[in-house]
Structure 1
Amino acid sequence: MIRGMTDTAEQGTGRDAERSAQEPLRDRRAAARRRARRTLSRAKWGNTIRERLTYLTEATAGMPGLDETADVYGNGIVTDLEERVAALLGTEAAAFFPTGTMAQQVALRCWAARTGDPTVALHALSHPEVHERHAFSQVSGLRPVRVGHGPRLPTAAEIREFAEPFGTLMLELPLRDAGFVLPAWEELTEVVEAARERDAVVHFDGARLWECTEHFGRSLEEIAALADTVYVSFYKSLDGFGGAALAGPRTLIEEAKTWRHRYGGTVFQQFPTVLSALVGLDRELPRLPEYVRHARVVAAALREGFAAAGVPWARVHPEVPHTHEFRVWLPYEPEAAAEAAVRQGEETSVMLFGNAWEAAGPGLAFTEVGIRAAGLDWTADDVRAAVRDFVDRLPDRA
């Protein structure tokens, strides 16, 4: 069973109940992750407020422009970030938004007005369909339709054969809820061409676009050039405090800024978030290809480790990660896998799996693994040893 293919409302209700039941375990996991001597997946957003403030202060020491007046309603340093993103993506302009949900709603409603068609074609596992409580239809009056089948992006054939017209095709790169998967470059270009044949515009949900260059073998500018507009996030891969940017043609971005104000997204001062985004672009963006390459080493070691430990069925998906993030699937209830992961951290100060485990079907659980700076210290032997130790804590191995 692939998570995200069921009705979104029912899924959300079940997930909320599951999370409430797991709160004590979540607190233990957070405490174990903070105290652990080594953690394979460690993102800075899990740190304490003091640690986050210290990080920002130290990282921005010596940064030019700190003696300038702080931003007010999107000027100053916010404009600097927008110009930098536009330069990185090769677009005419970019606009900063407090959230990606808002940025994408604004982008798609602007395109709907220009094309005269409020229909947005997107995969059933796309972020707006799974995680945004029907925001497109409830807030922006857009009409999402699902295109494509299975845990992968839509194909060119599926776009060409889709039974009804649509004004915009939205592609999430990578498709997170399918396992952070990407198409081949040739497949992506064919999908975009198929949308153009139908007189549709193309929007990239590029929340994690920053780490796609290694898989595609193309620059950010080349990838973004395929789409009419692109959204990028500053916290998912860059360790920022939050925030997003929408990049594209100057006239559309100016219109988007008007809608940003109407949506309540023109915040009085945003310099802490913007500074953290600039730090992420300086520090994390150049390292993402290295993270992707090491994620492939870790993924192979995880597969080998579970096979050697005799786990009857275990999967790493994709087998060769497309980005620095991937999923691990195990034949256990999520509570059992989560308890083993937390106990390993508590008892050994080494945490192999620091993220939550979720149900993927009866007796089947998955977690997400992301390789960042802390994960680079883990050799394949380290990973295999940690897998053995983790498996020893699963319930039927006691």
Structure 2
Amino acid sequence: MTRDDSDDEVKAAKARRTAAVRACGRVLTGAPGPTLGGLVEQLARDAADAGVDLEGRPDTYGDGVVEELETRVAGLLGTAGAAFFPTGTMAQQVSLRIWAARTGSDTVALHPMAHPEVHERGALSVLGGLRTVHPVKAPRQPTAGDVRDVAEPFGTLMLELPLRDAGFLLPSWEELREVVAAARERDAVVHFDGARLWECTPHFGRALSEIADLADSVYVSFYKSLNGISGAALAGPADFVVEAKAWRHRYGGMLYRQFPTVLAALAGLNRELPRLPSYVAHAKTVARALREGLAEAGVPLARVHPQEPHTHQFQLWLAVAAKDLDAAALEQAEQTGTSLFGAASFWEPGLPGLSMTEITVAGPALEWTEADIRAAAADFAGRLAL
């Protein structure tokens, strides 16, 4: 088998799984994204839901509706201003290099599982000339003690809230305040990677503005939880935002027209943001039903992490080969019209045969009762050669 043959098989398998899930009447999690035509139709609905004057002229180089979105985000986060960015990677690069220049330190303290370390191809050092230190290596949020014990000076502490690759983990509110205070003791500024900050309010029991007030700058995403097309915002003090927009231009982020992305973001703030607390609440039911239902059906090791989700996302771990789990998921979708895991795949992050997938509880999952989930879990387990 050639590499091209393998690639073709992977694409064919993905297409088959997507087609099967699209044909399902019920999907708990991992529903495929819309088709191109579906996106065009969705954008028309987003335009109606965005709450802006559609008779006005389109944006040009960041004015108009882009400025409306920036004002909306600054209001939600309680900051003096916000800057729209085409990507979160660009937004965070800009934020961290600004703070490096202002603090006089090119060292950023962050978790080794944080997004810039794992998913950005070393952009912090390659593009920004920055270096990183790790307050903690264990798959958990850093503590105040971890921050105090970093063996060398650093200018910025970056906290990813929640820490996605460790299981969408959050500290408690008091722990977060203590970590920020520990950074201040070391004369460091604090930046929040808040790509998923929108859904953190139930866990912390605080408004977005109170959470953001702990940090010097905050990044938020418009597509991870709000179902936008893409895009991000960087929020903070007025002079910080002015400088961020200058760096945005230098990084190539001053796009001529951005209204499709911005309209989708505004619609997401209007439509999805109010629903996120219900997703977070239901995630606890979904996690318990999956864990107990799969375990009772005889699936080895069936675990969710964290055991009680901190947000509307969590990890599901099973001691079964990923290929067997994916095959069972496809069979269930094709034969029953019901899918537990949608188009999401399992993978084996460490030990062979110990598989994991990420579960996201959103609108479609609200229609599933605990009994529904347990029944589907039993049916899924019955398709595995245990």
Task: Indicate whether the TM-score tops 0.5.
Answer: yes
Match of 1:136 among 120, 124, 137: 124
CA deviation map 1:13-34 (0-9, x unaligned): xxxxx98874333222222222
Alignment of 1:303-342 (within 5 A): 303-342=291-330
- Report the residue type matching 1:34 in the other structure: R
Verify the 8 A CA contact 2:135 2:149 in the aligned structure 1: no
Deviations 1:319-359 (A, max 9, x none): 11000011100111221111211221121111101212121
The one-character-per-residue Cα deviations of 1:39-76 (angstroms, maximum 9, x if unpaired) are 11156x71111112212212332743111000010000
8 Å CA contact retained: 2:144, 2:178: yes
CA offsets 1:104-137 (integer angstroms, 9 cap, x no match) = 0000000000000011110011011111111111
User: Contact between 1:42 and 1:374, CA under 8 Å: does it hold in 2?
Assistant: no
Please give the residue correspondences for 1:54-93 in structure 2 after superposition, counting only pairs within 5 Å.
54-61=41-48, 63-93=51-81
Amino acid at match of 1:188: L
Of 281, 289, 295, 1:293 maps to: 281
Please tell me the residue identity of whatever aligns with 2:136. G
Measure the CA separation in 2 of the matches of 1:19 and 1:392: 30
Shift of 1:274: 0.2
Structural RMSD (CA): 1.5
Whether the aligned pair in 2 keeps the contact of 1:26 and 1:356 (CA below 8 Å) is: no
For the structure 1 residues 19 and 154, does the alpha-carbon distance in structure 2 shift closer, same or farther, using more than 3 Å as the test?
farther
- Distance between the aligned counterparts of 2:11 and 2:187, measured in 1? 48
State which of 357, 363, 372 in structure 2 corresponds to 1:382: 372
CA contact (8 A) 1:42 1:372 kept: no
Deviations 1:257-296 (A, max 9, x none): 0000000001110000000000000000000000000010
CA distance in 1, matches of 2:328, 2:113: 29
Is structure 2 residue 350 aligned with structure 1 residue 363? no
Shift of 1:36: 1.4
Checking the alignment, whether the CA contact within 8 Å between 2:52 and 2:65 is kept in structure 1 is no
Measure the CA separation in 2 of the matches of 1:38 and 1:327. Answer: 21
The answer for the alignment partner of 1:168 in structure 2 is 156
TM-score by length of 1: 0.92
3-state SS, counterpart of residue 226 of structure 2? coil
CA distance in 1: counterparts of 2:176 and 2:269, whole angstroms:
25
Whether the 8 Å CA contact 1:42–1:375 is kept in 2: the answer is no
Q: What are the equivalent positions in structure 2 for 1:43-62 lying under 5 Å apart? A: 46-61=33-48
Using the aligned pairs only, state the percent identity: 60
Determine the C-alpha separation between the residues in 1 that align with 2:354 and 2:340.
Answer: 19
Matched, 1:203 2:191: yes
1:242–1:317 distance in 2 versus 1, CA, 3 Å: same
Amino acid at match of 2:154: F
Instruction: Report what 1:302 is aligned to.
Output: 290
Task: Measure, in 1, the Cα distance between the counterparts of 2:284 and 2:165.
Answer: 19
Q: What is residue 264 of structure 1 aligned with on the other side?
A: 252
- Structure 2 letter corresponding to 1:163: A
Structure 2 residue runs without a partner (length 5+): 1-5
Measure how far apart 1:206 and its partner are.
Answer: 0.2
Relative to structure 1, the CA distance from residue 174 to residue 19 in structure 2 (aligned partners, 3 Å threshold; closer, same or farther) is: farther
Separation in structure 2 between the aligned mates of residue 49 and residue 21 of structure 1, nearest angstrom? 23
Aligned length: 378
- The equivalent residue for 2:3 is none
Could you tell me which of 373, 382, 386 is aligned with 1:392? 382
Separation (CA, whole Å) in 1 of partners of 2:334 and 2:43: 29
Stretch of structure 1 that moved more, 355-364 or 206-215: 355-364
Q: Distance in 1 between matches of 2:335 and 2:135?
A: 46
Moved more, 29-38 or 177-186: 29-38
**Which amino acid in structure 1 is aligned with residue 44 of structure 2?**
T
Residue aligned with 1:144, SS? strand
* Match of residue 147, structure 2, among 147, 151, 159: 159
Give the TM-score normalised by the residue count of structure 2. Answer: 0.95
Q: Secondary structure at the match of 2:320?
A: coil
